């Protein structure tokens, strides 16, 4: 795309066979809109898929995640953690579905999507869904949309940390579970640009 902001394996359809493990990491930084369509089929027993994603957007950018995690075989495991921050008039949509087929007993599937909006104009819509057709499964999903915590902000400022710096610290700590190793400085710079 010529931006260099986006790191990711190609979006699209993945098949994970018995005993295989897929790990995907997405980073979407300000400067572009992104549409990430991802379908993952866990087709063989014991297959695993782990997705981490981070997004930061501002101005009128649009970020859309559409993820379908399909557990088709027994004993498979999947985790998804998608955290991001929307500023400006950015629009974010997260659609995440976990499907557990009737044969996929002993499934473990977890999905978390946490979002912070920095302005009144920024908009985040998150729709996590579970479709479970097996009975012996461990599944959970969680989604939050919130703002930076005002009490934390004041506590830091009362210690002499300037407001902008305090906000950066808060955002870094919010994103820390999804920041790829070695990219902390780049993410910090992107946060400061919001």
State yes or no: residue 22 binds another protein (CB under 8 A): no
The interface mask with another protein, positions 151-170, x = CB under 8 A, is xx-xxxxxxxxxx-x---xx
**Which region, judged by CB under 8 A, interacts with another protein, from 2-10, 29-37, 126-134, 147-155?**
147-155
At its nearest, how many Å lie between another protein and the CB of residue 83? 11
Q: Are 108 and 138 in contact (CB under 8 A)?
A: yes
At its nearest, how many Å lie between another protein and the CB of residue 43? 37
Please, which residue, 151 or 185, has the CB nearer to another protein? 151
Contact with another protein (CB under 8 A) among 44, 172, 180, 183? 172
Please, which residue, 40 or 82, has the CB nearer to another protein? 82
Q: Are 109 and 138 in contact (CB under 8 A)?
A: yes
At its nearest, how many Å lie between another protein and the CB of residue 138? 25
State yes or no: residue 147 binds another protein (CB under 8 A): no
Q: List interacting residues with another protein (CB under 8 A).
A: 150-152, 154-163, 165, 169-170, 172-174, 176
């Amino acid at each position: 795309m010529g931006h260099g902001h986006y790191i990711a394996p190609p979006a699209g359809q993945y098949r994970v066979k018995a005993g295989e493990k897929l790990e995907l990491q997405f980073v979407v930084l300000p400067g572009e809109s992104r549409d990430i369509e991802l379908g993952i089929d866990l087709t063989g027993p014991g297959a695993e898929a782990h997705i981490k994603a981070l997004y930061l957007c501002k101005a009128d950018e649009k970020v859309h995640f559409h993820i379908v995690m399909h557990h088709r075989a027994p004993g498979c495991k999947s985790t998804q953690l998608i955290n991001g921050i929307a500023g400006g008039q950015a629009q974010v949509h997260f659609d995440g579905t976990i499907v557990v087929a009737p044969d996929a007993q002993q499934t473990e599937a977890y999905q978390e999507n946490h979002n912070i909006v920095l302005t009144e104009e920024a908009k985040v819509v998150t729709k996590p869904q579970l479709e479970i057709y097996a009975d012996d499964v461990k599944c959970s999903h969680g989604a939050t949309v919130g703002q930076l915590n005002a009490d934390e902000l004041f506590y830091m400022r009362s210690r002499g940390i300037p407001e902008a710096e305090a906000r950066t610290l808060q955002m870094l700590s919010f994103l820390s579970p999804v920041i790829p190793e070695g990219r902390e400085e780049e993410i910090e710079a992107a946060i400061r640009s919001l």
